[in-house]
């Protein structure tokens, strides 16, 4: 098997995997997918400037501001003045935002438990080892 065939199979599998998670998670939590992706970006960057979020998410500043305004009203993120330059405003996750992402991860884990029951312990171990290798490769590539 080559990378092209495997990548095709993975590309077909992942939307099915995610669809179940999305249906369950977004039905129970008052956040849109756009807002959730913004939360993930903020979590990834830590405290960050609005223009960085907008640029990296490929959205306009007015759109980013609107999404952030809704997240602030929901108590999921907060705006804070930069310590050494109070004119600059940063955005960061609140505890409530962290808990929302943790809830998403819990739904994702539950979905994986259901899927992994379909393969035996040896295949689960092999899958685990492959996932660890892929994660290490992604970590090195992101540096």
Whole-structure pTM value: 0.81
Cα–Cα distance, 138 to 109 (Å, whole number): 20
Ordered DSSP codes for 18-70 = HHHHHHHHHHHSS--HHHHHHHHHHHHHSSEEHHHHHHHHT--HHHHHHHHHH
Is pLDDT of 1 > 80? no
Is pLDDT of 143 > 80? no
Answer for the pair 34, 22: CB distance below 8 angstroms, yes or no: no
Is pLDDT of 22 > 90? no
Write the DSSP symbol of residue 1: -
For residue 19, the model assigns a pLDDT of 86
Is pLDDT of 45 > 80? yes
For residues 58-87, average pLDDT: 90
For residue 140, the model assigns a pLDDT of 82
Answer for the pair 77, 92: CB distance below 8 angstroms, yes or no: yes
For residues 134-143, average pLDDT: 84
For residue 26, the model assigns a pLDDT of 87
Structure confidence by residue, pLDDT tens digits, 96-134: 999 999 999 999 999 999 999 999 999 999 999 999 999
């Amino acid at each position: 098997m080559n990378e092209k065939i495997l990548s095709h199979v993975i590309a077909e599998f992942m939307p099915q995997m995610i669809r179940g998670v999305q249906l369950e998670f977004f039905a129970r939590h008052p956040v849109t997918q756009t807002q959730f992706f913004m939360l993930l970006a903020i979590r990834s960057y830590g405290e960050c400037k609005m223009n960085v979020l907008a640029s990296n998410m490929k959205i306009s500043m007015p759109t980013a501001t609107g999404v952030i305004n809704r997240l602030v009203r929901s108590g999921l993120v907060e705006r804070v003045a930069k310590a050494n330059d109070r004119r600059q405003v940063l955005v960061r996750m609140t505890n409530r935002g962290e808990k929302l992402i943790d809830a998403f991860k819990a739904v994702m884990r539950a979905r994986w438990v259901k899927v992994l029951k379909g393969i035996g312990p040896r295949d689960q171990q092999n899958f685990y080892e492959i996932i660890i290798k892929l994660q290490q490769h992604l970590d090195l590539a992101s540096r």
